[in-house]
Amino acid sequence: MKIVKLKFLLVFTLVFAISCKNKQEKKVAKESEKKPNIVVIYLDDLGYGDISAYGATELQTPNIDALAAGGIKFTNGYASSATCTPSRYALLTGTYPWRNKDAKILPGTAPLLITTTQQTLPKVLRKQGYQTAIVGKWHLGLGTGHVNWNERITPGPNEVGFDQSYIFAATQDRVPTVYIDNGTVVGLEKNDPIEVDYKNNFKGEPTALTNPEMTTMKWHHGHNNSIVNGIPRIGYMKGGDKAKWSDIDIADNFLARAQNYVKTHKEKPFFLYYAMNEPHVPRTPHPRFVGKSGMGPRGDVILEADYMIGEFMKTLKEEGILENTLIVFSSDNGPVLNDGYYDDAVEKLGKHDPKGGLRGGKYSIFEAGTRVPFITYWKGTIKPAVSDAIVCQMDLLSSLATLTGTTDTTTDSKDILNTLLGKSDKGRGDLILEATGKTALRSGDWVYIPAYKGKNLREKVGIEVGNFPYEQLYNVKEDKGEQNNLAKSNPEKLTEMKAIFGKLRGIDYTKGVKEVEFR
């Protein structure tokens, strides 16, 4: 009797197991028919040489390296610009930022830079059935002029294509130092309203100038207005005490939000713009990362960001969607060491080269301003490779339109989907680069920089920005560090580059225009 029972149990278990397996296979088949989830992981001021996958030897970034090793590592990947706002504008609208005179580093009180009727990447994807969300740094303006931070703040990310948004308004060094959840300041108390002003302080409120003893981080240039958590910021803020973020917890908080979004939205395709804050100033690693890099807070927050990315990837895996998710990893502009605070970034740099052999840095029209780490990763679909193709973040809009079954030809964005997926090694031919209002041309292996007024050295940050009273021409394949100006020795190439540049920028050189300035 016992044996019969056991046999029955065995058969039953077997049948059950087979039926489960079938169901699982069916689920997997369905999964691959589904449009892939898309995640853009965007760092802030991370340089071309700041991660070990791009040659850093003094810092180890194993989680980002795993993306590079398992995906396409682009060696000629670009942000559109050498500063944050214009690069984010290009990423989200597919449009060159120099077409918009307001696309420059914005204060925390700036109105929304993207118009609500403008084409955007999340809008394109939403039309294709995607759920869309941003978690992280926004820095593209909010509202229409005067923002009342105590009411729903609109228009903002939710009005330009994101179903959900959990952001901070500008930068970690700018007020208001609060999180905004779908337009509403998180944790705000009615009896402690927030006021923000970028011109005048509020009567009786301490600043780094009046009360330096209240600061725990010292400002080097700028950054001497309101003090929050001991850190002096740009701009004045009053009230909203309970709503103020804890600086050391920002990375963990954004990670938790990103993970939660993935967990709660995995049934339908989603687009998540995960805009991390590292290694932008003020660099405030959580205590568990303090001292880990031996390079001071700048190195520590790079390791912190790498850890967060590892955790985020674990979540994709645990939720069973890793093989149906395309990840794009990049940075909004090149590196800077001293960006306004004394934080040992210069002193403890050691042998580390954040520029990775390029010239310039953040704010610079030289290559280190805009050439950044750029990785695409899609487990099981993208075959690992290194690509030298020229790709720009601005091209995600058209490329992802194509990936999700539509086309977009309304913007400057180029469809380079096959390149991003490793099926082609052809990138875009020409690309206009931008740095605080100046523009230059990358075309093939060449870079052309017009003559510009002003000093080459931006002294306070110690970066060469590229202003010279004469034109510059570099072959960046042979001369990665832009050391040999070939403008005089190769007049043919110079003429050719100027013709392309003039055409793309709409400049008529026959009218004697020498300098290009758009603001």
Q: Is 236 helix (H, G, I), strand (E, B) or coil?
A: strand
Question: Contact 128/404 with Cβ under 8 angstroms?
Answer: yes
Pick the binder of Ca ion from 332, 343, 395, 482 (CB under 5 A): 332
Taking CB under 5 A as the binding criterion, the range among 52-60, 222-230, 332-340, 351-359 that sits at the site for Ca ion is 332-340
Closest residue by Cα to residue 96 from 362, 321, 411: 411
Q: Which residue is nearest to ligand NG6 (CB)?
A: 222
What does the H/E/C string look like for 179-224? EEECCEECCCCCCCCCEEECCCCCCCCCECCCCHHHCCCEECCCCC
In angstroms, how far is CA 466 from the centroid of its own chain? Answer: 23
Q: Which residue has the tokens 């307001």?
A: 102
Binding partner selected for residue 171 from ligand NG6, Ca ion, none, CB under the kind-specific 5 to 8 Å limit: ligand NG6
CA distance 89 to 414: 16
Q: Please, which residue, 314 or 455, has the CB nearer to ligand NG6?
A: 455
Binding partner selected for residue 139 from Ca ion, ligand NG6, none, CB under the kind-specific 5 to 8 Å limit: ligand NG6
> Considering the rule CB under 5 A, would residue 343 count as an interface residue with Ca ion?
no
> Considering the rule CB under 5 A, would residue 44 count as an interface residue with Ca ion?
yes
Binding partner selected for residue 266 from ligand NG6, Ca ion, none, CB under the kind-specific 5 to 8 Å limit: none
Number of helices (H), then strands (E), belonging to the chain: the values are 10, 22
Closest contact distance (angstroms) between CB of 107 and Ca ion is 15
Binding partner selected for residue 70 from ligand NG6, Ca ion, none, CB under the kind-specific 5 to 8 Å limit: none
Closest residue by Cα to residue 86 from 122, 121, 114: 114
Kindly provide the b/e burial profile for residues 91-130, where b requires at least 16 CB atoms within 10 angstroms of the residue's own CB. bbbbbbbbebeebbbbbbbbebbbeeebbbbbbbbbebeb
Q: Please, which residue, 45 or 482, has the CB nearer to Ca ion?
A: 45
Binding partner selected for residue 359 from Ca ion, ligand NG6, none, CB under the kind-specific 5 to 8 Å limit: none
Sheet holding 446-449, edge to edge: 430-435, 438-443, 446-449, 472-475
Closest contact distance (angstroms) between CB of 335 and Ca ion is 10
Question: Contact 123/400 with Cβ under 8 angstroms?
Answer: no
> Considering the rule CB under 5 A, would residue 45 count as an interface residue with Ca ion?
yes
Closest contact distance (angstroms) between CB of 200 and ligand NG6 is 17
Sequence-separated (6 or more) residues with CB below 8 Å from residue 405: 35, 128
Provide the 10 A C-beta neighbour count for residue 23: 10
Binding partner selected for residue 340 from ligand NG6, Ca ion, none, CB under the kind-specific 5 to 8 Å limit: ligand NG6
Q: Please, which residue, 82 or 473, has the CB nearer to Ca ion?
A: 82
Q: Please, which residue, 134 or 400, has the CB nearer to ligand NG6?
A: 134
Residue ranges that bind ligand NG6, judged by CB under 6 A = 44-45, 83-84, 105, 139, 171, 173, 221-223, 234, 280-281, 333, 339-340
- Which residues inside 68-127 make contact with Ca ion, applying CB under 5 A? 84
> Considering the rule CB under 5 A, would residue 333 count as an interface residue with Ca ion?
yes
Closest contact distance (angstroms) between CB of 170 and Ca ion is 11
Closest contact distance (angstroms) between CB of 45 and Ca ion is 4
Q: Residues interacting with Ca ion, by CB under 5 A?
A: 44-45, 84, 332-333
